[in-house]
Structure 1
Amino acid sequence: MRSSYLQTDLLSEFDRLQQQVASLFGGFPSSIRSDRYGSFPKLNVGTTDDAIEIVAFVPGVKSDQIDVSIDKGLLTISGERQALFANEESDDARRYAQERYAGSFRRTIELPANANPEQVTARCSNGCLMVTVAKHEASKPRAITVQ
């Protein structure tokens, strides 16, 4: 009986700790589908032998509404996503849930030291922005012949 009490007490302590951490960092999303304000667009960042690849998911944003820039090793993607309907931005509307973000956005990614800011391409297709930053030649893997 005593061990049951300790487990319950321990779980309540973990719950209390989680709530304190959440309040420290401004809270966490309540579900996997909800996001914190300002986390648009979602990003995938990866690397190949030749480049760093960033995919930003920007559905509903036209390519001429997106700005991509690099300065001092930081890649910035910014722009604006328009509301679909007039009442989407209205303060009079009573919303039960809002999962579509509208308004200005800005995401900044720190690039690795081997990124070459002189060789960058960006293209937008089907709601995905693909930014490719080439790597410096010296950082690319190469085979060494053993004699």
Structure 2
Amino acid sequence: MTAMNSFKHMHDWRENIDRFFGESFWGEFDSILKPNIPQVNIFRKDYEILCVINIPGIRQIKQIDCSVDGYNLHIKGEIYIKSSGYELVQEEIIQGSFNRTIELPYKCRDDKVSARYEHGLVYIHLYKNVHESNKSTSIKIKEGEK
């Protein structure tokens, strides 16, 4: 059995489950079945946080929208891998639109943020907020090295 036939059988199986349990059955499992995209690593030291976000295939930085407010980093955009004229046989690099909120280990400043995109990774440098502020700030991502 080819891989594509396996995927078709998997789709048929899911449709049968939907008919039996109802379409909302899968909604409860979405967070388990769907991996978070984009993938994120968070590092911290003293009063600083470094978020490294895996976003391949970006042609223009303006494709990524990023902001920070308090304990949350918001990032949205689209991962698109060009493959004109080819049929997808195996997909491990997840593509499509994403909109993710990443919970940070502590409240971050909205006035001292830097970000850059380099080799498929977004590096966002944040600082712990020791003062009270509840506003949201958009983050401009630069291209290249520091």
TMscore range, shorter length? 0.5 to 0.7
- Over 3 Å counting, the alpha-carbon distance change for 1:38 and 1:64 in structure 2 is farther
Please list every run of 5 or more consecutive structure 2 residues that lacks an aligned counterpart in the other structure.
Answer: 1-25, 132-146
Q: Which amino acid aligns with 1:111?
A: L
Q: CA–CA distance in 2 between the matches of 1:80 and 1:132? A: 22
Q: Which residue of 2 aligns with 1:25?
A: 29
Query: What displacement does 1:25 show?
Result: 3.4
Please list every run of 5 or more consecutive structure 1 residues that lacks an aligned counterpart in the other structure.
Answer: 1-22, 29-35, 139-147
How big is the alpha-carbon RMSD for the aligned residues of Structure 1 and Structure 2? 2.7
Query: What displacement does 1:83 show?
Result: 3.3
| TM-score (ref. length: structure 2) | 0.58
Same amino acid, percent of matched pairs = 31
Query: What displacement does 1:71 show?
Result: 3.1
Q: Which amino acid aligns with 1:65?
A: Q
Greater radius of gyration (CA): 1
Q: CA–CA distance in 2 between the matches of 1:97 and 1:41? A: 19
| TM-score (ref. length: structure 1) | 0.58
Query: What displacement does 1:136 show?
Result: 3.1
- Over 3 Å counting, the alpha-carbon distance change for 1:53 and 1:99 in structure 2 is same
Count of matched residue pairs: 104
Q: Which residue of 2 aligns with 1:115?
A: 108
Question: Is the 2:49–2:125 Cα contact (8 Å) retained in structure 1?
Answer: yes
Question: Is the 2:70–2:108 Cα contact (8 Å) retained in structure 1?
Answer: no
Residue 113 of structure 2 aligns to a residue in which SS?
Answer: strand
Q: Which residue of 2 aligns with 1:14?
A: none
Counterpart among 74, 84, 95 of residue 76 in structure 1:
74
